[in-house]
Amino acid sequence: MSQLKALIFDVDGTLADTERDGHLVAFNMAFEEAGLDWHWSVELYGDLLAVTGGKERIRYYLTDFYPTERGSEFSAPAVTDEEFTDFVAQLHAAKTRFYTQLMAEGAVPLRPGVTRFINEAREAGLRMAIATTTTPANVTALLTHTLGAESLDWFEVIAAGDIVPAKKPAADIYIYALDKMNLKADECLAFEDSYNGLMSSHGADLKTIVTVNGYTNDHDFSEATLVLSDLGEPDQAMKVLQGSCDDTYFSLASAEKI
């Protein structure tokens, strides 16, 4: 690897374990507010996470799961593509409103080692960026209510959501972040939590550190440089699940050895 110049972080599942206690709760709150009898269980949501992007996930549910749930009497309502697109967009906007409220209430803390590592990178003058599928408002809410509003300036690029034509596992979002930072992939290190995320960062030729979570610990991380339980803390050792690192916690010294 060339000299490490920048760290690029995924958000959901990596900076914070936001899916089960954040996004899933917000989706169900939006369905209830809209008077829909949909309720996504923790287990069903795990299946739905195969598709990134909340709007895309709602469509995936409606095409691949809803008809089976409703049985033989189900017949899709006759709506135009534009009406369907508007319906999904409005439902997703409500979900985002609920999600940002949950972040403001402190529903989801940052994962172990994230604050420590980000502060270490800042003190070392390392550049940082975000590359996420989630909506920009959600990134703002999470960072503001965990690291403080000033933290938004610590990331010179916040590449999020619909800013690129193809979401993860496509490499678009990481290529966009590298382009905006005018950096080459071998000058950076990516941090991810899922197969889709790793396919995206790997597709942009980025070495990637994966920290698993409840929804992703059985994913295929063959292309990862390291797979960890989390980034660890001095008093809370990380577990190395794939690759080699004999440090108690992941630090810039760990990154330099890669």
Chain contacts with Mg ion (rule: CB under 5 A): 10, 12-13, 193-194, 197
226 neighbors 258 (Cβ within 8 angstroms): yes
Which one of Mg ion, ligand XBP, none interacts with residue 52, CB within 5 to 8 A by kind? ligand XBP
Q: Does 213 bind ligand XBP (CB under 6 A)?
A: no
Partnered with residue 157 across adjacent β-strands are 129
Q: Which sign does the torsion angle of CA 258, 113, 142, 50 carry?
A: positive
Among 38, 108, 129, 134, binds ligand XBP (CB under 6 A): 134
Burial grade of 149 (CB within 10 A; 0-12, 13-18, 19 or more): exposed
- Map residues 4-43 to x or -, x wherever contact with ligand XBP holds by CB under 6 A: ------xxxx-----x---x--------------------
Question: Which letter does DSSP use for residue 23 in this model?
Answer: I
N-term to C-term CA, the chain: 7
- Measured from the CB atom, the residue of 10 and 172 that comes closer to ligand XBP is 10
Q: Does 169 bind ligand XBP (CB under 6 A)?
A: no
From 10, 17, 172, 230, the catalytic residue:
10
Q: Does 100 bind ligand XBP (CB under 6 A)?
A: no
CA 161 to chain centre: 10
* Rounded Cα–Cα distance for residues 125 and 242 (Å): 29
Burial grade of 146 (CB within 10 A; 0-12, 13-18, 19 or more): middle
Cβ 67 to ligand XBP, closest distance in Å? Answer: 22
For residue 12, indicate whether it is catalytic: yes
52 neighbors 172 (Cβ within 8 angstroms): no
Among 138, 211, 213, 216, binds ligand XBP (CB under 6 A): 138
* Rounded Cα–Cα distance for residues 172 and 165 (Å): 7
Which span (60-68, 116-124, 134-142, 177-185) binds ligand XBP, by CB under 6 A? 134-142
Partnered with residue 211 across adjacent β-strands are 228
For residue 37, indicate whether it is catalytic: no
From 12, 17, 193, 230, the catalytic residue:
12
- Measured from the CB atom, the residue of 105 and 123 that comes closer to ligand XBP is 105
Enzyme catalytic residues: 10, 12
